[in-house]
Amino acid sequence: MATIKDIAAYTGVSCTTVSNVIHGRSTRVSPETENKINEAIKTLGYIPNMSARALVSSSSKVIALINHIVTDKELNFMDDPFQATFVGIIESVLREHGYYLMVRTVETSDELLAFLQTWNVDGLFITGMFRDNFFDALTTLDLPIIFIDSYVHHPNFCNVGLEDFKGSYQATQYLIKHGHKHIAFASPSIKDGGVLQERFLGYKAALTEGGIPFNKSIVFQYEMDLASCQELSNELIQYPEVTAIVTSADIMAAGIIRGLRANGIRVPEDISIIGFDDLNICQLITPTLTTIHQDMHLKGSVAVDFMVQKLEGKTLSQTEIVLPIHLVERNSVRTL
C-alpha cells in the first residue's frame, strides 16, 4: 500500500506538500503541483488513513445512529424490516455527503457516555427517545443530535417525526366505514410519550368519533417477532366478535396473518387487518396488506439534512418536521 513518502518520491516534492494536498490545504500548493500529486495518488492507489485525518481535522466524518429502543434481549432490532430499511436510507444519504454511519444499541446513559469516550463521532441520530435519564445525559453533550420519531422536545435538538396519531385514526376510521364495529389494536409495549402511544390514541379517537365503545381487552401488546405474533393470534381468536384489527407496524400485521392462518382464520374473509409503514413486505404477503404509508426516504433525507446543517454551523429555520401519511388500499380489508 502506497504511503505519503511514496507519493513524495514519485512526484519529487516534500512529504509536507503531499500532506497539504491530502488534507485539503491546497491553498499552500500551486495548482500544477496539486494536480501532479492527485494523479500520483490515483496511480499508486494511495488510501488515506482516516484515523489520522480525523486527528488533523478534529472531524471523524462518522455519525452514529443510536437505537435506544429496549426490547427482549434475544431480539435484534434490525430484524424489523422498518429499522433495516431506514438505516440503509440514512447510510446512503450520509454517504452522498461524505460521512460514514455507525449503528449502536445503547440502553443506559452510562453506556452512551462510555461509547462517546471510545468513539470520536461528529453527531448522533437517536431513535426510541423518551424523557428519562438517557435524555438528561444527551442535554449535556456538545454534539449535533437529531431525534427520529420522538415526542420529546428540546430547543437544542432537531426532530423528524410523523403523523402517528392521524395514521391510526385513518386506519380505524377506514375500517368503521367498511362496517366494522369490533376493532382490536395490536402493538409492542405502549409507553407514555412515545410513537406507539400516539398511534393507540388515534385508534381510540376514531372509535369515539364513530360511537364505538373502547374495549381495553382487545388491545394486544406483544413484540413483533414470529413467536409473539403467533401468541397474539392464539389470544385474538378467543374474541370471535372481533372482525378487524389495527396494527402499529406492517411486520406485526404480517406475523398476525401468519398466526391466524395457522389457526384456520382467513384474512380478510374472517377478519380484516391494517398495517402501518407501507414496507415492501405489504405487497409480498397474501393477501396484500392495506396499510398507512410513510415516506421513509424523505424522512431519512430530512434527518441527514438537519445533521449536515448543524455540522456546518448553519442557523436552522425550523428544528422539528412532522411528515404526512396516507392510507394505501390493498386486499386485507373486506366490507361487512
Say what the pLDDT of residue 245 is.
Answer: 98
**Shortest CA distance to 277 belongs to which of 298, 244, 254, 249?**
249
* pLDDT > 90 fraction of the chain, expressed in percent and rounded: 55
Q: Which residue has the higher pLDDT, 291 or 97?
A: 291
Domains 62-163+296-323 and 164-294 equal at CATH topology level: yes
The pLDDT tens digits of the residues spanning 269-285 come to 999 999 999 999 999 99
Q: Which residue has the higher pLDDT, 161 or 109?
A: 161
Q: ω before 287 within 30° of 0 (cis)?
A: yes
**Contacts (Cβ under 8 Å, ≥6 apart) of 132:** none
The pLDDT tens digits of the residues spanning 248-259 come to 999 999 999 999
Name the least confident of 40-44, 51-55, 77-81.
Answer: 51-55
CATH of segment(s) 62-163+296-323: 3.40.50.2300
For the record, the C-alpha cell of 76 comes out as 435484534
Name the least confident of 114-118, 121-125, 200-204.
Answer: 114-118
Say what the pLDDT of residue 26 is.
Answer: 64
User: Quick one: pLDDT band at residue 104, thresholds 50, 70, 90?
Assistant: confident
Name the least confident of 61-70, 159-168, 237-246, 301-310.
Answer: 61-70
Give the largest CA-CA distance in the chain: 84
Q: Is the pLDDT of residue 17 over 90?
A: no
Say what the pLDDT of residue 55 is.
Answer: 47
Buried (b) or exposed (e) across 106-135, using 16+ Cβ within 10 A?
beebebbeebbeeeebbbbbbbbbeeeebb
Averaged over 190-215, what is the pLDDT?
Answer: 95
What does DSSP say about strands 325-328 and 290-294: parallel, antiparallel, or unpaired?
Answer: antiparallel
Cβ atoms of 192 and 201 within 8 Å: the answer is no
Averaged over 211-240, what is the pLDDT?
Answer: 94
Please report how the helices 4-11 and 15-22 are oriented relative to each other, as an axis angle in degrees rounded to 10: 110
CATH of segment(s) 164-294: 3.40.50.2300
The domain locations on the chain are 4-48, 62-163+296-323, 164-294
User: Quick one: pLDDT band at residue 1, thresholds 50, 70, 90?
Assistant: low
* Averaged pLDDT of the chain: 88
Averaged over 327-335, what is the pLDDT?
Answer: 97
Q: Is the pLDDT of residue 316 over 50?
A: yes
Say what the pLDDT of residue 109 is.
Answer: 82
